[in-house]
Structure formats: structure tokens, C-alpha cells
């Protein structure tokens, strides 16, 4: 769970990180499936750094 949270930091805003932490907790067994991913916009922010707006349709199921 800690590794997942750490990996998501580069992709989620602080608010979404908090929501994710409160929604998916280690003491509650769950699984997730990604149904769809859409890239809406890619914008160069700096040298070799980009801002990406995307949509993910994900199903989270308690086991």
C-alpha cells in the first residue's frame, strides 16, 4: 500500500492523493481494474517535463 501511494504522488494532486488514501486502505481488502484511459491534453511545461490531462475509468471492488 505504501509503495502504491508513493508511486501515485507524481500523478495525482494532493487532494486526489488524500482521497485515494481514504478510499483504498490496507485493512480493507480490495482490487481494482482499469476499464479505460483517455489522454486529453499534453503540454510541455519545462525541458523534458510535461503536464498531462487524462481520464481513467477504474472499478474498485472490495474483496
Each residue's pLDDT tens digit, 30-52 = 788 899 999 999 999 888 889 88
Domains of the chain, residue spans: 2-62
* Residue of 29 and 57 predicted with greater confidence: 57
Q: Which of 37, 27, 36 is nearest to 62 (CA)?
A: 27
C-alpha cell at 33: 481494474
C-alpha cell at 26: 490496507
Each residue's pLDDT tens digit, 8-35 = 888 888 888 888 777 777 777 778 889 9
Q: How far is 21 from 1, CA to CA, in rounded Å?
A: 9
Q: How far is 26 from 28, CA to CA, in rounded Å?
A: 5
* Residue 35, phi-psi category: left (phi > 0), alpha (psi -120 to 50), beta (remainder): alpha
Q: Is the pTM of this model over 0.85?
A: no
Amino acid at each position: 500500500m505504501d509503495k502504491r501511494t508513493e508511486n501515485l504522488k507524481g500523478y495525482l494532486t494532493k487532494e486526489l492523493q488524500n482521497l485515494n488514501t481514504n478510499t483504498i486502505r490496507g485493512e480493507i481488502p480490495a482490487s481494482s481494474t482499469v476499464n479505460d484511459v483517455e489522454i486529453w491534453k499534453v503540454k510541455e511545461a519545462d525541458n523534458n517535463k510535461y503536464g498531462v490531462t487524462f481520464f481513467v475509468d477504474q472499478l474498485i471492488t472490495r474483496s
